Chains A and B, each alone.
Chain A
Amino acid sequence: MKKFLAKSYLYILLLVLYAPIAIIILFSFTNSKTIGDWRGFSLDLYANLLSGQAAHSATITQAVINTLVIALIAAAISMLLGSIAAVGIFNIRNRKVRKAIQFANNIPMINPDIITGISLFLLFVSLGISGGYVTVVLAHIAFCTPYVVLSVMPRLTRMNPNIYEAALDLGATPLQAFNKVIIPEIKPGMVSGFILSFTLSIDDFAVTLFTKGSNGLETLSTYIYADARKGGLTPELRCLAAIIFLTVLILLIIINRRSSRFNKEQ
C-alpha cells in the first residue's frame, strides 16, 4: 500500500512534468493556429516546415543551420581543449594550483546563464568585437569545456600511469605514447564530452542572446524567443520545438547509457 502510494506520487509528478512537452508535441500533429484547438491528425505543419512554405521559412531554415554549425564547431573545439586540459590538470602535482584551476573550471557551471552571457557581452564590447558567429562560438566553448574536463577526468584517474612511462621507456616518442596509450583510454570520455557539449550548445538560449550581436544572426532558441515575444508562437515552430525536445532527450539518454556502462566497468 505504502509502495503503491509512493509510486503514484512519482507518476503523477512525472505526468505534470512532461504534460507541457507532450502537449506541444501533440499539437505539432494538427493543423490549427492555437494550441488547444484540435483539428484532427495532420502532418501539414511538418510539411510546411520542410517544404519551406511556413511563414519566414527561409529564416527558420537559416536558424536551424546556424544552431547546428555553432554546436558542431563549439563541441569539437571544446572536446579538444577540454581533453588536453584534463591531461594537464591530472598531471599537476601542486595541489593549490590544481584546486585553483578546478575552481575556475567550475565557474561557468555555477554562474546563471544570464551572468555568463553578460560578462562575455562586456568582454566583446570592450574589445570592440561585434557579435556574430565567432563570438557565439567562443561563448559556447566557454560554458561547454568545463563539462568535457569533467567527463575526461574520471578516465584518467582510472588509468594505470605506468603504461605511459613504459611506452616511453620502450622508445616511443611522447607523441606516440600519447596517441597509443592515453587517447584510447580517454576516448569514451571525450566522446561523451562532445555529445554533452553539442547538447548544451543546441539548447542554449541566454548566452547566445547576449553574444549574437545585432547583425541578424539567429539560432533556433533566439528565433523562437523573438517569435514568442511578438505574441503567440508560429504554429510550425511547435514542430521544431518537438524536434529539439526529442533530440535533446535522445542525446542525453545516450550519454547516460555511456556513463552508467563506465560506472559498471569500475
Chain B
Amino acid sequence: MSLSKLVQKRSNWVAPYVLFLVLFVVLPLLLIAVYAFRNPAGQFTLQNFVKFATQSEAMNTFIYSVGIAIITTLLCILLGYPAAYILADSKLNRSKSLVLLFILPMWINVLMRSLATVALFDFLHLPLGEGALIFGLVYDFLPFMIYPIYNSIQKIDKSYIEAAHDLGATTRQVFTRVIWPLSVPGIISGIMMVFLPTISTFAISEILTLNNKRLFGSIIQDNMMMSDTMNYGAALSLIMLIIIAITSAVSGDDSDLSEGGSLL
C-alpha cells in the first residue's frame, strides 16, 4: 500500500501517537518491572523485594505513609463532603465560579502549594512538623476530594429527590437514603485521588517537617537518584504501581479523572 493510501484512511492517523505511547508510556512502565527484578549487575534477583520486607527503614516509612494517608483522606472527606454537597445543591449555591475557585488549586503544583503552607505557618508563627505535614497534605489534596464528590452529587437525577420527598421522606431521610448512596462513587474516586498520591508524595514532607518526617515517595526518590540503589528504587516504585493498579481495578472506572481533564 502506498503512503498516500495509508494517510487517506483516517484511522491510521493514530499511528504516530500509538508509537509514541508505546515508547514513552508503556515501555517505561515495563522497565520499572524489569529493573525491579534485577541487581545492579543486571542479573535476575528477588533481593530488592526481600530488602523491602526485611529492612526496617523503607517498611517503617511505608507504614507511616499509609497512616498519614489515612488521616489525610479522612480529613479530606470530613471537610470536603459538606463543601461538595453545598456546591452541588442548587438551593444553596448557583454560582459556577465558586465551584471553579475550589477546583483551581488542583492545577498548581504540590511543591508550590507546600511552600505556600510553610509561608502560612511562618506568618502565624506556628512550628513546622507533623501538624504542618498533615495540614499541608489536606490543603494540597482537598480539591481532589471535593471535585469528584461534587460531580457525583450533581449527576443525581433531581426527580429521585423530589420523588423521595413526595413519598413522605424527611430531608434527613432523603440524604441518608438517596443522596449519600448515590454519592459513594464520588467518594471512592476522591479516595483514589487523595490516598495514593499522599503515599507517593515526595519532596514536600521534607519541606513541611524540616527534614524530620519522610513519606514513601521520598524513599523512592532517594534510591532512584543513586545508580547503586536504582534497582531497589524501581522495586519500591513497582510496589507503588501494583497498589495503584489494584485500587483502580477495585474502584471500577477512572472516568472522574479523565473528566478532570476536560473540565478545564
Q: Hey, which bits of chain A sit against chain B, CB under 8 A?
A: 2-3, 6-7, 9-10, 13-14, 16-21, 23-24, 27, 34-36, 81-82, 84-85, 87-93, 101, 104-112, 114-115, 118-123, 125-126, 138-139, 141-142, 145-147, 149-151, 154, 174, 196, 199-200, 203-206, 209-210, 221, 224-225, 228-229, 233, 238, 241, 244-245, 248-249, 252-253, 255-256, 259-260
Q: Which 3 A-B pairs have the closest CB atoms?
A: A88-B14, A85-B17, A20-B116
Q: Does B93 contact A7, Cβ atoms closer than 8 Å?
A: yes
Contacts of A203 in B (CB 8 A): 107-109, 112
A14 and B102 form a contact (CB under 8 A): yes
* B220 on the A face (CB < 8 A): yes
Inter-chain contact A106/B254, CB cutoff 8 Å:
yes
Q: A225 to B203, Cβ gap below 8 A?
A: yes
Q: How far is the CB of A129 from chain B (nearest CB, A)?
A: 12
| Total A-B contacts with CB atoms under 8 angstroms apart | 243
Known: A93-B11, A115-B244, A224-B115. A36 touches B122 (CB 8 A): yes
If A92-B14, A115-B240, A199-B107 touch, does A3 touch B113 (CB 8 Å cutoff)? no
User: How many B residues face the partner with a CB closer than 8 A?
Assistant: 87
Contacts A20-B120, A88-B15, A118-B224 aside, 13 further interface pairs with beta carbons under 8 A come to A6-B92, A14-B102, A23-B119, A35-B123, A91-B9, A107-B29, A114-B220, A121-B224, A147-B261, A149-B17, A224-B112, A241-B115, A260-B96
A175 CB, min distance to chain B CBs, angstroms: 8
Asked whether A34 and B100 contact (CB < 8 A) given A10-B83, A224-B111, the answer is no
Partner of B257, one of A109, A206, A249: A109
A259:B26 contact, CB within 8 angstroms: no
Type the 1/0 row for B10-42, where 1 means its CB is closer than 8 Å to any CB of A: 111111111011011111110110010000000
Q: Closest Cβ of chain B: how far from A258's Cβ, in Å?
A: 10
Q: Which of A81, A119, A248 contacts B107 (CB 8 A)?
A: A248
Say whether, besides A105-B21, A107-B25, A122-B31, A259 and B264 are in contact (CB < 8 Å). yes
A238 CA / B111 CA spacing, docked (Å): 13
Interface flags for B112-137 (1: CB within 8 Å of A; 0: not) read: 11011111101111000000000000
Which chain A residue has the least Cβ–Cβ distance from B225? A210
* A-B pairs with beta carbons under 8 Å apart, 8 shown: A10-B86, A23-B119, A24-B115, A91-B9, A101-B18, A126-B31, A149-B17, A260-B96
Contacts of A119 in B (CB 8 A): 25, 28-29, 31-32, 237
Q: Would A84 and B102 count as touching, CB distance under 8 A? A: no
The reply to whether B261 and A146 contact each other, CB–CB distance below 8 Å, is yes
Given known pairs A91-B13, A101-B18, A126-B31, the reply for A20 and B139 (CB within 8 Å) is: yes
Q: Which residue of chain A has the shortest Cβ distance to B31 in the bound complex?
A: A122
Q: Known contacts A88-B15, A114-B220: does B200 contact A142 (CB below 8 Å)?
A: no
Contact check, A115 vs B237: say whether CB atoms are below 8 A apart: yes
B45: min CB distance to chain A, Å = 17
Q: Taking A20-B116, A91-B11 as contacts, is the C-beta distance between A123 and B28 under 8 angstroms?
A: yes
Q: By the criterion CB–CB under 8 Å, are B104 and A229 in contact?
A: no
Q: Which of B27, B143, B217 contacts A114 (CB 8 A)?
A: B217
Q: Which residues of A contact B221 (CB under 8 A)?
A: 114
Q: Which residues of A contact B217 (CB under 8 A)?
A: 112, 114
B167 interface residue, CB < 8 Å from A?
Answer: no
List of A residues within 8 angstroms of B107 by Cβ: 199-200, 203, 248, 252
| B101 contacts chain A at the CB level, 8 A cutoff | yes
> B246: CB under 8 A from chain A?
no
Query: What is the CA–CA distance of A24 and B119 in the complex, to the nearest angstrom?
Result: 7
Instruction: Chain A residues near B98: list those with CB within 8 A.
Output: 10, 14
Say whether A120 contacts B28, CB under 8 Å.
yes
B91 CB contact (under 8 Å) in A3, A23, A142: A3
| B258/A138 in contact, CB under 8 A | no
Q: Which of the residues A89, A118, A120, A228 comes within 8 Å of B207, measured between beta carbons?
A: A228
